Each structure stands twice: as C-alpha cells, then as structure tokens.
Amino acid sequence: MASGCTDPLVLGIESSCDDTAAAVVRGGREVLSSVVRSQAEEHAVFGGVVPEIAGRSHLRNAVPVLDQALAEAEVGLEDLDAVAVTARPGLIGSLLVGVSLAKSIAWARGLPLVGVHHIEAHAYAATMEHEVSFPAVALVVSGGHTALYRMPDATTLEKLAETRDDAAGEAFDNVSQMLGLGYPGGPAIALLAAEGDRAAVRFPRYRPKDEKPGFSFSGLKTAVLYHLRGQDALAPTPPPEAILDRADVAASFQEAVVDVLVAQTLAAAEREGTESILVGGGVACNARLRERMAAAAAARGSVASFPSPRFCADNAAMIAGLGGALFQAGCPSDLTLDASAR
Ligand code: KG4
Ligand code: ZN
C-alpha cells in the first residue's frame, strides 16, 4: 500500500524504557491489539530502571510480545502496510532492540518503516479515543518528561515549556522512595493519597518568574524531605514506619504536583488561545490530575482529553497510531532509520 493511503494497518513496537510493547492499529486510531510486558518487578529492587537489565529483558520479551500482538489482532505480517517503532528518546540499549526488530520485519516484508518520537506519541494518544479540535495544547507528563506543546494538528508538536529540573513522574518516584512505597511511585502514592488529607501539609508550588509557562519539582521534593526530617536538614530521613502522617504527606504532595500541572497547562491554553487540551504520559493515569484538569478546563469552556489509562503509560498502540497518521501524511519511511537517546 502506498504512502498516503487511507486506513493503513500498522504494527507498532515500543521499547524505549522498561516496557516491551507491540500493537496493531488501523488508520491511526482503531486499536486491534495492544500488548505490554512490564519489567517493573525486575527493576523494583533497585528503586529505578537499570539500563543493562532493561536492554536484556527487551531482547527476551520482544518476539513473544510481537507474536501475541499479531495473534490478538488476528493478522499476519503479510497483512501489514507499515511498521512503526519508537526511535527516540529513551535508553539507547533498549531503543536498539525495538528498532532492530522493526527493521528486520520491514526489510523481510518490504514494508515502509516509520520512526516515531516517544513524547509525540504520548501527546497523540488522546486523539485516538476522542474527537479533538485543533490547535490544541498538550501536556506530556511521564517519568522522564514534563513539557507543554502547541499542536496545530495531531502529528505536529511545537514545544512551549518544559521542566527546569525533575519530571513530575520522577518526583512521584522519588517521594515514593522517601515514604517507603517503592517503585514505580505514582500508583503507590495515588493509592495512599486517597486515605490522606490533601490540605494537611502546605508544600510549595512552583510559579515561573516571567509570564511564560514552566515547571519545576525539585523544590517540592526537597520540601517533602525536610518535612519528613522535621525541618532539620542534617537529620537522617526517618524509616517509613516512623512516618506517622504518610497518607497526609502523599495526598499533600500529590495535590501540589497537580496544582502546578493544571495551572501551567491552563496558562498555556490561555496564551495560545486554544480550547482543546490533551494530556498524556504515565502521570496522566493519576485520577486526581484527571479530575482537576477536566474541571479547570470546563470552567473556561475548554475540553481536556485524556487517553484511557492503558494508553497513558508506555504502550505501542500510541506508536502504531502516530506511525499510521505520519504514514498517511506521507512522512519519509525507510531502513536508514537510526535510534537516538535524545
Ligand atoms: O509514560 P511512562 O509510563 O514512562 C515514561 O515514558 O517515563 O510514565 C511512567 C511514570 C512513572 O514515573 C510513574 O510513577 C508515573 O508515570 N505514574 C503515575 C501514575 N501512574 C504512573 N504518577 C502519578 N499517578 C499515577 N497514577
Ligand atoms: Zn513514556
């Protein structure tokens, strides 16, 4: 099938971090299958992703995950119109596994190969399940990225702002460690926060000095640490069982992150004059963020669109989706594709 055709059947492969994923998507939107094999358990003991382990695990999992995605979609390689793969950014040893697999399939079957930017795919994800009007402002919040984009259309991202230090997901993961909740931290904090009082501790909220939107979470992280140490910066961090207000800290921390994400996203939408807000990335699973963003958007007559949780976290449906949309738009696709960590 030629580039620019309607409804191409696209295989997507994702291996940028610690999830091995494959999916089959028709026409950039219709998800026929989406298989994700998480490595979270392998990395949990280390409190974060170990690149060496991730690369080896992708190598073990890639073909079984691919086979499962094709079987669940009830298609064979011969039915595909194109292959899409995350080419950047990510852990280079992890990316190379997915890119090599995608290249092999494309070469063997003579198929076009579309390289997809992981962050752009997170921003695209919400458009697969919602009718979105453009231009839109997109917030991508994950473990490695927190940034705002202007999207003139579903396949184009122009960066408006990004975090000065930590990503929001990274802050969730770090605070989770401090509270003895383990990795990944986001879901664990969200669960505990549901039992806590979000007004219990008044943690700081970052506000950019100039009028431009922006994010920072390192000050908030330090404030949580100081709170746990009883304002004595030199004191050791107490063991989790000695923290009496863990649920309150979790709820107050989460509220501070959500406040910053919502305020900066709405400020960007205001500046750009857009009515449509898209949110993607693992942190977009957060129920409090979804609730607050939706309410804040509605209050100004805008609509905030979120992917289903399974398409917020790393997955290959968003890769096959954006890959299909790029292919339809006639983007170049050949075997010269290279992987890049940045
Ligand atoms: O997009 P993603 O799966 O991987 C990256 O590209 O980074 O995002 C993973 C991040 C982790 O930091 C994890 O703690 C966070 O998303 N996360 C959450 C929630 N679920 C996952 N953060 C807050 N609340 C959640 N419910
Ligand atoms: Zn991601």
209-218 as b/e, with b when 16 or more CB fall inside 10 Å?
eeeebbbbbe
Among 88, 176, 283, 286, name the best residue to mutate to test ligand 1's pocket (greatest count of ligand atoms within 8 A of Cβ). 283
Q: Which atom of ligand 1 is nearest to the CA of 184?
A: 14
Query: 307: Cβ below 6 Å to ligand 1?
Result: no
Q: What does the pLDDT look like over 97-134, one tens digit per residue?
A: 999 999 999 999 999 999 999 999 999 999 999 999 99
Tell me how far apart the alpha carbons of residues 248 and 202 are, in angstroms, rounded to a whole number: 11
CA 252 to ligand 2 centroid distance, Å: 25
Are 115 and 16 contacting, i.e. CB atoms less than 8 angstroms apart?
no
Nearest residue CA, atom 3 of ligand 1?
A: 313
User: Does the pLDDT at position 6 exceed 90?
Assistant: no
Residue 257 alpha carbon, nearest atom of ligand 1: 23
Taking all residues of the chain, what is their mean pLDDT, rounded to a whole number?
93
Is the pLDDT at 1 greater than 80, yes or no?
no
Residue 3 has a pLDDT of 52
pTM: 0.93
Is residue 239 very low, low, confident or very high in pLDDT (cuts 50, 70, 90)?
Answer: confident
Percentage of the chain exceeding pLDDT 90: 80
User: Which ligand is located closest to the Cα atom of residue 14?
Assistant: 2
Residue 173 near ligand 1, beta carbon < 6 Å: yes
143 lines ligand 1 (CB under 6 A): yes
Give yes or no for residue 55 having a pLDDT over 70.
yes
Mean pLDDT of 225-249: 83
pLDDT, position 231: 66
Is 193 close to ligand 1, i.e. is its CB under 6 Å away? no
State which H helix or E strand residue 21 sits in. Answer: strand 19-26
Span 267-273, mean pLDDT?
95
